[in-house]
Amino acid sequence: MHASARTSALWHPCTQMYQHDANPVPRITRAKGAYLYLDNGQPVLDGISSWWVNLHGHSHPAINAAITDQLQQFEQVILAGFTHSPIEQLAAKLVDATPAPLTRCFFADSGSAAVEVALKMSLQFWHQTTEQQSGKPERNTFISLENGYHGETLGSLSVTDIPLFSSQYRPLLIQHLRAPTPDLSLKEHDQSDEDFLLQRFVQLKILVEENQQRICAIIVEPLVQGAAGMKMYPPVYLSWLRQLCDEYQIHLILDEIAVGFGRTGTLFAHEQAGICPDFLCLSKGLTAGYLPMSCVMTTDEVYQVFYSPDVAKGFLHSHSFTGNPLAARAALASLAIFEQENTLQKNQQHIQQFKHKLAELGKHPNVANCRQTGMIAAFDLVQPDGLSYPATQQRARLMAQYALQHGLLIRPIGNHVYFIPPYCITADEINQMFEITIHAINWAISQPVATGTHHMLHSGLNLP
């Protein structure tokens, strides 16, 4: 028996609990490879990597073994004033995997926390640099992109531009600067990609010129704005961004929490632009979806500004479970799998199959704006009958319900439907994923929907 939303002690994240009075939350009892298994034994293909975190499949034997081995030694130790081999090895591996200027790793326990760390480091860097170089104005402002998402703690939420998450907390938030999004789906029909990107970039540059004396950093999700609905843009924009930050001597923070560790086709998204950020935020796939952990990588230039006999000039940010050895062993095992299984190269076959299947799907009359960046594929559910956007959202939810009943987990963001499967997925399973999706679209479009407020609330939120 599943407890109803009214009687259960559990409050689910990103969920309108009202909806679960009528629709009990599915219960997962085990998981293996690309599949989750419901309590009735039904397998469900995990088309979203369990909120974008799982890389190599559930219950991977090599990662299981690494964590089990670590459990026999010790499970946790304070990282302030102590160290241990797993976290030292992980820091060294991450430095080896990223561009040369990124030489320092600061660990935290979530993606939001990583963004908080990067923002605080950048602000404190400029404050302490100001003290050393009198006459330089203090900087305390950040630029982020429209439709950007960087987390839900107060610092990260202040550079997030999705009102559904932030509007009710506005009294708690510091207002920073927003630059136009480079999302290619917003360009005019007669506009080239380059013209659109240049137009948006010029607006960003003007914003920087007008506020350069008070800007700490620009923070962006490279190549894919995830929670906005998998909105995509090409690597050249990142190249321009790096040049702009260099020209005006401001930091560049890349939030690769969702897109890191192979999601875009390369280990890290910024590789495709041939650039290096001043701060690189990592989480989600860092431990292959096993345990909470995040990391902010930065440069020696930043590190040296905090290096002082004065304790107050150190970076006094801490989490109880920072550098957890179980999470570190999971992360090390995951990085080893990339090498042993040649994962990035093998994924190229999946990427080509996605491209082919998206082209086929794009012929459907209720599908628009098919897009792909590496192992991330997305499309918009549309309807030619002119019904309102809330009705389209409702049909996207119906589509997800149908898919789950037929063995596929998807989780649309509004009317944006996306796939981010584990890398262990097979060609047959990709075909299955698209086949179920087409049937789900056809069924959802055929259903009557109501667009009133009560109906929308009853249906509940369907967030990333």
240 is in an annotated binding site: no
**Rounded to the nearest 10 degrees, how much is the dihedral formed by the CA atoms of 322, 325, 329, 334?**
-10
Residue 110 contacts residue 257 (beta carbons within 8 Å)? no
136 is in an annotated binding site: no
320 is in an annotated binding site: yes
The strand pairing partners of 43, in sequence order, are 37
d(CA 262, CA 449): 38
d(CA 110, CA 152): 11
411 is in an annotated binding site: yes
135 is in an annotated binding site: no
388 is in an annotated binding site: no
229 is in an annotated binding site: no
Residue 19 contacts residue 460 (beta carbons within 8 Å)? yes
69 is in an annotated binding site: no
d(CA 406, CA 245): 48
d(CA 174, CA 252): 20
149 is in an annotated binding site: yes
112 is in an annotated binding site: yes
d(CA 414, CA 397): 8
Binding residues: 51, 111-112, 149, 255, 284, 318-320, 411
For the annotated binding site for substrate, the residues are: 51, 149, 284, 318, 411
Binding residues for pyridoxal 5'-phosphate: 111-112, 255, 319-320
